[in-house]
Structure 1
């Protein structure tokens, strides 16, 4: 993390010089790193956040710290002092993220300057005094071949994913928390043609595809008076006026799903979005629940989604492994209800299994690959 790196390093060098002490370059660098962590970073947790494979750092109490390197949670020996020290760290991190955390506002969801996502709660919500959850942003865009090498994607599906992007299919990436939705979405966007203009809409920027023309839009929270807020739905409407070749919603979580479906139904092909869901079969229910927040009826959701979405790519996380588990085709059944048929599935190890009928429907929709 490089927040304030140059300025704070110079300040540390000046302070050491003024003190009359002599330090070697390595000791001075370590001192500067510690100062940055204490003033601008996560203090004792900073070293954990900077480890290459770490995705999450969780604090349940002063001596109860966990992290996830992609293989599941593991406890780490980091002492944070007292309960008051943990509370002070949570309050400081919230302030760095531009949010308030105190007795009147005992929970916060914020984004630190480097992109790390912070969620923290204070007592009485957290009996231990304070609880801190940090989700690390990894900005690197992986290629499909790298996803195959990591076990996220079977070799048999790499050409299919490239074809979906090339032929501008509207794609919904689903999965649970930490299943790799953003990673896969970033990889797909990196396959888009270099002449295309991609407009991304997110609560905080996580999508950083390897692509020459990405226009990121990020929401803004309302101030303490409740004014000035800009929502995902607002930004999707703005994106429509920005000459996009692709509109990408980082995550469907509310009424903004209406704007996304309408955009995909009005000539904006090649759109992508993510959605929290447990399997492709429950995606219709999730869409209906979110669209209800925008006042859409079940029938309206079915008509809009069936016309807008082509494919659902569902990711699963099991025992620390993340992999593309299902490919679903979106359609309406004989009663006019929205459905997602599973065209293929994979257990993360052997060869993928295919449902011939649904796979044929997928082929007819996007063409052979």
Structure 2
């Protein structure tokens, strides 16, 4: 049987099973084939069963890729364009879909499982799947050639600091500096581009927080999984099709403040919630942290300034709050080889005009962090809080 004929057969059986609402068991597939006047061998029936299960259960043909512990991202840009990232940049795989319609069906099924709408009227979706995988999908005509599907694997546990050192994310000896920052209860943000490992590093650092402390997480999509016994996780929610039920990240930050957090964490600062976070960190909530997209550590004040303006906070007020709220920026990069690492750590200072800028305190080096002109201030901050360097 040719590939086209085989796909026609699968399509015909799928339609009949969808109409009846039946699961694609071998017996039901055989019955559907007989109803069409087709008598085929056991191997053909089992092949149709496998093809249908691949479409109707889990993530279909992408399942083996997501099960690979080294895979962090699975990217589908077309039926014959399936890529993965194993920490060394994107690699093309041998996985194939029958056609663009099969990619569309998988994307829509995953979106439905996450409670999102994905169709011609709403041609994109961003959601977290029940297993923690982050999904993003775009349908034509917004995606020009084919439906595009991006899956970011949600790991069930956080990495240990020793594992990040072994992987090269933290330089040798860098764990002492990070532990001192946490012990001193300094407030910080982890910056970097998409896929640089911000969430991974933050989860690891939160796992080092004292066991007697209470961590409250506020996230757009629940991705942080710190290895800690006392974690409260809050997740934002989009509006339903009637436009009701919206829960924004800044709503979660406000609720978190009423939950007696020892450490208030915003998974990703991307909008007006920056004002609530800075206000919280200025009212005695030490050790707060979060992540933010930025090209470099030096760009973080300007990035937060832009976000604050979306909430109506003027520049002077934002910088005044920022100066008292945050102590340092940990910046991550991903080099051309795909290696994720802490490139630099900056402390924050306020100039004569009242504007906040960053000062380099430590730079990446293969043998350990190299000390820069902001190191004395970083050491002083840590020692004041009881974190010895």
- Give the structure-1-normalised TM-score: 0.89
Q: Deviations over 1:141-181 (max 9, x none)?
A: 12222211111111232111111111211011111111111
Contact residue 147 and residue 153 of structure 1 kept, 8 A: yes
TM alignment of 1:186-225, pairs within 5 A: 186-225=203-242
**Is it true that 1:316 corresponds to 2:311 in the alignment?**
no
Residue ranges of structure 2 left out of the alignment (5+ in a row)? 1-21, 31-47
Alignment of 1:80-229 (within 5 A): 80-229=97-246
1:67 corresponds in structure 2 to 84
Other structure's SS at 1:252 match:
coil
**Paired residues for 1:234-313 under 5 Å:** 234-313=251-330
Q: Which secondary structure state, in structure 2, belongs to the residue aligned with residue 155 of structure 1?
A: coil
Structure 1: stretches of 5+ with no match in the other structure: 1-10, 21-30
**CA contact under 8 A between 1:53 and 1:70: conserved in structure 2?**
yes
**Counterparts of 1:274 and 1:308, CA distance in 2:** 15
Question: What is aligned with 2:345?
Answer: 327
- Separation in 1, partners of 2:50, 2:379: 54
Residue of structure 2 in register with 1:358 after alignment: 374
Task: Say whether the 8 Å CA contact 1:56–1:135 is kept in structure 2.
Answer: yes
Q: CA deviation at 1:34?
A: 8.1
Query: CA shift at 1:250, angstroms?
Result: 0.5
Alpha-carbon spacing, 1:122–1:359, altered in 2? closer, same or farther (3 Å): same
- Structure 1 residue 66: Cα displacement: 0.7
Q: Deviations over 1:223-278 (max 9, x none)?
A: 11211111110000000001111110100010011111000000000111001111
| Change over 3 Å in CA distance of 1:294–1:18 after alignment to 2 | closer
Question: What CA distance in whole angstroms lies between the structure 2 residues aligned with 1:183 and 1:127?
Answer: 32
Q: 1:129 to 1:263 in 2, by over 3 A?
A: same
SS at match of 1:296: coil
The alpha carbon displacement at 1:40 in A equals 3.7
Q: CA contact under 8 A between 1:139 and 1:206: conserved in structure 2? A: no
Q: Deviations over 1:320-364 (max 9, x none)?
A: 1001110110121122111111111114x2443221x31001111
Label 1:176 to 1:32 Cα distance change in 2 as closer, same or farther (>3 A): farther
Structure 1 residues 113 and 344, CA, compared in 2 at 3 Å: closer, same or farther?
same
Shift in Å at residue 17 of structure 1? 9.2
**2:331 counterpart SS class:** strand
Residue 36 of structure 1 deviates from its aligned partner by 6.6
Q: 1:179 to 1:311 in 2, by over 3 A?
A: same
Secondary structure in 2 matching 1:113: coil
Report the count of equivalent residues.
Answer: 347
Map Cα deviations across residues 22-41 of structure 1 (whole Å, 9 max, x no partner).
xxxxxxxxx99987753341
Q: Distance in 1 between matches of 2:82 and 2:367?
A: 36
Could you tell me how far 1:202 is from its partner in structure 2?
A: 0.7
Counterpart-to-counterpart distance in 1, 2:235 and 2:50: 30
